[in-house]
Every structure is written in C-alpha cells, then in structure tokens.
Amino acid sequence: MANIRKRSENSYVFSVDLGFDAKGKRLRRYKTHRISDKALLKTRKKLKDHLESEYHKFKAEVLSEEYIKPEKMLFSKFVVDWENKFAVKKLSETTLNKQLNHLQTHILPVIGHQQIDKIKKIHLIDLLDKTKRVDGLPLKSSTKEDIYKVLKSVFDRAVEWKVLKTTPVTGVPKPKIDDVEESSVYDEEESSVYDEEESSVYDERRI
C-alpha cells in the first residue's frame, strides 16, 4: 500500500491523508510501527496482512479524532500552561502556593526535563518512593499525598486538553497518611475553616 512505507528492517511508517488546510497545505498523520516478531518478517503474506491490519487501526483512530499527535512538550513546559490556564483560576492562593512549592521542590527536579508523553507510571512511583526533604530526611506521608494530588491535577488537565490520551497517574498507589500524622496534620485551608468554626461556637456560648 502507498500509505505503508518500509523504514528499516523491522519498522514501517504509516501515513493517513487528511486533505488540505485553509492555506492549501496537505495534512497528514504519521506513525512508526515496529515489528518485534522476527518470524513475521520472514513471511511475506502474513507480514502484508499484519501491516494492513495495523494500518487500518491507525487510520480509524485518526479519522475518529481519537489519535493524538505526539508532541515534544517537556513536562516543565506543560506545567506553565497548567498554572496559567487552570491553577491560578481554580485554586485558592494558599493551595496554589503549596502546589507550586511541591512542583519546584519535589517534582520538576525529577521529571521536569522529560517529554510529557514519555512519562510512565513507574517514573511517578519512583518519584513518590525516593523523594526526600532538602535535608535528606524522608518526607512525611502527608507531603507525599500532596505531591500525588499535584501530579494527578497536572496529568488530568493534560488528558482533558487532549495533550495525552491517558494519565500515567492511573494505577499509582495514593500515599496513605500515617495514623500519627493524621491526628496532627491539617491542610492550611482546613485549619483556617476549623478555627473559624471553633471561634463561632465559642462566641455562641458567650452569648
């Protein structure tokens, strides 16, 4: 098929023609398909059938708009979009500052340099397992839970905005707060609300 081109001994390039844009530029989507089954490469008929089958799957994805063109966008670059287009509009100042701090201190130094579509579940598991405080001591489980929430928010937006097809956070175990920590740790905003409620109750009693 004209839309299936051999690239190397075990890889082929698929192309789907989408016509022309408003400026007359031809639009195409490409995908490299690699074959790991060496036996398949030795049988012309089976190879041809396999390639045509995989090509039609790719074409169906493209035409149904389920195919997302891979972008060489660094995670750190997408975080800027996440901050400007979502975080500053949706999060309170306290929560925003906390999440940006976690990004700068714990997340970006580890995966900020990676392409966002190359980040896998194992990278995030390692990040949560191995990240330590600046002084080298282990992080509190409550801090790890906060880092998890930031990662989930960023990758959820990446899926929502069609940058990614799925989020690598899926399947990453959410850190559990230790019982000892849970009794003494409050989110800053929750503490504020708690103090206001306590103050209100106290005032009512005085009345």
Q: How far apart are CA 158 and CA 161, in angstroms?
A: 5
How confident is the model at residue 202, as a pLDDT?
33
How confident is the model at residue 68, as a pLDDT?
65
- Show the domain range for 19: 4-63
How confident is the model at residue 134, as a pLDDT?
78
Q: Which residues contact 24 (CB under 8 A, 6 or more apart)?
A: none
Domain count, the chain: 2
How confident is the model at residue 136, as a pLDDT?
84
Beta bridge partners of 14: 4, 31
Does residue 68 sit within a domain?
A: no
In this structure, are 58 and 150 located in the same domain? no
Residue pair 121/171 in contact (Cβ under 8 Å)? The answer is yes
Q: Which residues contact 141 (CB under 8 A, 6 or more apart)?
A: 175, 176, 177, 178, 181
pLDDT, averaged in runs of 10, over the chain (207 residues): 87 89 80 90 91 92 71 88 94 95 95 94 95 86 94 95 91 80 42 35 36
Does residue 191 sit within a domain?
A: no
Does residue 153 sit within a domain?
A: yes
Q: Which residues contact 58 (CB under 8 A, 6 or more apart)?
A: 14, 16, 31, 33, 67
Q: State both tokens at 94.
A: 């306290």
- Tell me the CA distances in angstroms from 85 to 97, 117, 156, 200, one per residue in order: 15, 20, 13, 36
